[in-house]
Structure 1
């Protein structure tokens, strides 16, 4: 088994399938538990996982949690410029728009665009709680 293919990584991939199938509620638990014990060395995958968690929150109508979790992913994007995470964050914006949370979608889109213009290692946005994810 490859070093990156941890139980958390597998949970993240399974949860992504649930979101893609239109069942974000089924993804939340897997993503939350899978990200709890994430290895710090797998930062790019952590960013993707956080963005997927944000998408699941958006899909179940929790825009504040979606925005806050996306903020953690954006901190990682500022360092890594991960195209997978960026793509997933665009999906979060789309899901927030589709579910009627336009102000959250606009703010996330604005912050994502600003983050991509910043030099690497610049913190993109503040979140309410601190996290081991950053």
Structure 2
């Protein structure tokens, strides 16, 4: 867990983390996604539950009531969030705008509450 915390807290490369904890890069490469998946599985239902049929109806009613926009289940947008390039990341996070970024994709309801979030590259 300490390796995962180090990775999440710093955003350092797997190689840098492996040097810090004196384990192989391949080992860190296995630990990080496994622990991230376990954390996700434990927290997803509490913080990002799968919408039920009633939730979808409520979301559609919200768009109808607030914006007079019928049958809408969400507003979708994406954004390149500018970041400082992690050490040794080369061009991994380099985007077409000439900056380093990570992509945020989200769906919100009529009241700007996040319903779906995906952060990646």
TM-score (norm: length of structure 1): 0.29
When you count helix as a share of all residues, which structure comes out higher? Answer: 1
Between structure 1 and structure 2, the one with the greater Rg is 2
More strand by share: 2
Higher relative contact order (CA 8 A, sep 6+): 1
